[in-house]
Amino acid sequence: HYDADAWRRGADKPSLLSAGIGAGAISQRADGAGKLATALAAARGCQPLTARDIMSYYDEATGRFDPNAGYHAWAMIGLRALSQTIPISAVSALKTMQKGDGGWAYGAWSNTSDTNGTALAIQALIAAGEPVTSTAVVSGLNYLEGAQNADGGFPWDPQSPWGTDSDTNSTAYVVQAIVAAGEDPSAGSWKVGSNHPVKYLVNMQLANGAFEWQPGHGADQLATRQAIPALLYRPFPFAQAVLSKCNGAFLPVIAKQR
């Protein structure tokens, strides 16, 4: 286990944790609020007073935190990370966003399902207490299985006109969804010959420890950040915690005092 408060470029430099807390006011969308909550709960940080509460994005009339399924799912995951109750209507709203092929589109701007939106929706539903045997979860997993490539990895959208090659980010999200559903991403129906999602991720790591988004693209920070929890078999949320409030505006400039 790594301590986010210990990640510093020097003893007199701000920590990764304090930087995250200090960035709380930057989040202006439901997904950002959910991601912040997920990260701070895992790091046992505090909620900055400048950050909007996740529930402030909630629309009781529609049950949605956001019209985009991916953003809505992140808000649900964030609530669970903060040990808060996810409204039943929010669960129902996410289910209504599911498309006929069993998948979800990450954003309302798309007419087709994609692996990222589907993987997050599955994790959000399970975090809300949805049984892994429910129609919504099973249909989502079936969609993901159908989107898998021969190399064991997953593309963003198997119908995309811009390319359907596997990528690290999408594959990592899917691995987390598979684990959340209680399945082994390196076995069973997730194996394509000798390939599987975990093997794909491992093969995407470079000699310097970083992961590529796709072969030949070089080290990618976001791909690296997403691959690590997937390889650790850690779905969202990583942890649940009741966090105290804090004034995050000054934390990034606070040096470690020991």
Query: Which structural domains are found in the chain, ordered by start?
Result: 4-253 (1.50.10.20)
For the chain, give the percent of residues with pLDDT over 70. Answer: 95
Asked if pLDDT for residue 254 goes beyond 50, the answer is: no
Q: What is the pLDDT of residue 23?
A: 78
Query: Tokens for 119?
Result: 């993987």
- The pLDDT assigned to 19 comes to 87
C-alpha radius of gyration, the chain, whole number: 18
Tens-digit pLDDT profile for residues 78-124:
999 999 999 999 999 999 999 999 999 999 999 999 999 999 999 99
The pLDDT confidence band at residue 258, using thresholds 50, 70 and 90, is very low
Q: What is the pLDDT of residue 253?
A: 43
Strand partners, 104: 114
- Of 153, 157, 65, 63, nearest in space to 105 by CA: 157
How far apart CA 208 and CA 192 sit, in angstroms, is 28
pLDDT digits (tens, 9 = 90+) for 118-156: 999 999 999 999 999 999 999 999 999 999 999 999 999
pLDDT of residue 155: 99
The pLDDT of residue 247: 82
- Given this model, what pLDDT does residue 257 score? 40
Task: Return the structure tokens found at 73.
Answer: 């799912």
| Mean pLDDT, all residues of the chain | 94
How many other C-beta atoms lie within 10 A of the C-beta of residue 171? 29
- 158-200 pLDDT, tens digit each: 999 999 999 999 999 999 999 999 999 999 999 999 999 999 9
Q: For residue 2, what pLDDT is reported? A: 83
Among candidate residues 59, 66, 63, the one with its CA nearest the CA of residue 27: 66
